[in-house]
Amino acid sequence: MTDDANTPLALRSSGPPLLSVHNLHTYFPQEEGTVKAVDGVSFDLYPGRTLGIVGESGCGKSMTARSILRIVDRPGRIVAGEIRFRRRKQLDANSDDMRAVRGAEIALVFQEPMSSFSPVHTIGNQIVEAILLHQKVSKRQARARAIEVFRDVGIPLPEQRLDAYAHQLSGGLRQRAMIAMALVCNPSLLIADEPTTALDVTTQAQILDLLRHLQQEYGMAIMLITHDLGVIAEMADDVVVMYLGRVVEHAPVDELFHAPKHPYTQALLRSIPHIRSRPRERLASVAGSVPHPYNRPTGCPFHPRCPHAIEVCRTQAPTWEEVAPQHFARCHRAHELQLIGVEEVARTT
C-alpha cells in the first residue's frame, strides 16, 4: 500500500491483499458537531490470515467493519478513503453489487445473534433464504447445505435445530448458528465483531477453537474485532490498535505483545491480569477516560492520558513511522520509549 504522512504502511506479505483499506473516513454529522467515528484508517488483510482490531469501546472498530460492508446507519456516511476487496473498489460498487458481496464473499458475525436473527422466523428459514439469495440452488439443496454447515460448526441434532427459533437456543448454540449462517456461501472473508463477548468462558473457548478450525477448513481470512487482548493473542496473526477512530499501532501479533511501541498499547497490555500477579493485587488501568467525540484533543489524541506526553504531543498530530521491521506506530516518542513493565501477558492468562 502506498502511503502519505497520515496513513500506515501495509505489513509486507507475498501476493496481493484480499482486503485493502486506505485512509478511510466515516463521519456522523450531529447538531453538536461531527463525530469522526473512523478517521483515516488504513490496513491490509491477506488471504488465510487473521487480522485483530483492538481498542476500547467507541474507538471505531465496529464502524470500520460496517464501512467495509457499506452498512453505515444514517446520518453517518463515508466521506473519504478507498476500500478494495479482491482489488475491486468497493466504494464505487452499486447497491446490487454490494448485496452480492455481502454474505457471499464477505460475511459478518455479530456480538449478539439475537439482534441478527428474526424472532418470528425459524433459523433454518433465514439461513435457507440467505443461500437462495446468493446461489442458484433449489430450496431442498439449500436446506441440505444448511444442515451440512450446522454439522460443521458442531450443532447437535442439526435437522431439529434448523427448525428452531433463535430464543429456543442457548447463547452458545445461537452463536454457532450465526457462524453457520455466515459460512453457508463459503465467504473468503469473515468479519467477527466481538463474537465471544456475551458468552461464558467455556463457550468462548469453544467458539474460538471453532473459528480456528473453520478457517483452516474453508481457507478464509478473518477480521477479528474485540477489546480482549487475550483473544487477540490467541487468534490473530497481525494486530491493528485503534484509538478515537485512528490506528495508533500496527504490527505482527508477537511483535506487538513483546515490544509495543505506543503508550496506549502499553497501557492496554499492563491492564491484563498476569498469571504471576499477587493475590488481591490491584490491576493497572488506562489513566483517564476516552475524550468526548465532540471535543477531540489537539495534537496526539491520546496525550491527555499519556504519562510520556511532551509539548509536541499537545500541539502536533504524530505521523506514521516504521519503528521496527513491519511494526508501525503513530507516536512522537515511539523510538525513544522503552517497554515499561509490559510482558507477553496475554500468552499466560
Give the type of residue at 258.
H
How many angstroms separate the CA atoms of 321 and 261, rounded?
11
Q: Which helix (H) or strand (E) holds 210?
A: helix 201-218
Alpha helices in 89-152 (DSSP H): 95-101, 123-134, 139-152
CA distance 56 to 268: 9
Q: pLDDT digit of tens for each residue in the chain (349 aa)?
A: 434 444 554 555 557 999 999 999 999 998 888 899 999 999 999 999 999 999 988 899 999 999 999 999 999 999 999 999 998 999 888 888 898 888 889 999 877 766 778 889 999 999 999 899 888 899 999 999 999 999 989 899 999 999 999 999 988 898 889 888 888 888 999 999 988 877 788 888 888 898 998 899 888 999 999 988 989 999 999 999 999 999 999 999 999 999 999 999 999 988 776 655 555 555 666 777 888 878 889 999 999 999 899 999 999 999 999 988 899 999 999 887 754 434 433 333 3
CB atoms closer than 10 angstroms to residue 178: 28
Q: What is the pLDDT of residue 65?
A: 94
Task: Tell me the three cell numbers of residue 292.
Answer: 468526548
Pairing of strands 50-54, 221-226: parallel
Cβ atoms of residues 235 and 211 within 8 Å: yes
As beta bridge partners, residue 223 has 51, 191
Q: Are 234 and 224 in contact (CB under 8 A)?
A: no
CA–CA separation, 270 vs 343, rounded Å? 8
Contacts of 53 (CB under 8 A, 6+ apart): 61, 64, 65, 223, 224, 225, 226, 239, 240, 242
88-91: Cβ within 8 A, 24+ apart: none
Domains in the chain (CATH in brackets) are: 19-105+187-348 (3.40.50.300)
Pairing outcome for strands 221-226 and 238-243: unpaired
Residue 332 burial class via C-beta count within 10 angstroms: exposed 0-12, middle 13-18, buried 19 and up: buried
Residues 292, 95: Cα–Cα separation, whole Å: 34
**DSSP run (H or E) holding 219:** none
pLDDT of residue 139: 93
Full DSSP string of 251-283: EEHHHHHHS--SHHHHHHHHTSPPTTPPTTPPP
Do the strands 106-109 and 189-193 form a parallel or antiparallel pair, or are they unpaired? parallel
Angle value at C-alpha 112, between 107 and 113, nearest 5 degrees: 60
DSSP string covering 316-331: SPPPPEEEETTEEE--
Backbone angles phi, psi at 85, to 5 degrees: -120, 120
Give the separation between CA 302 and CA 330, rounded to whole angstroms. 10
Radius of gyration from C-alpha coordinates of the chain: 21
Contact 122, 163 (CB under 8 A): yes
What are the residues facing 192 on neighbouring strands?
109, 224
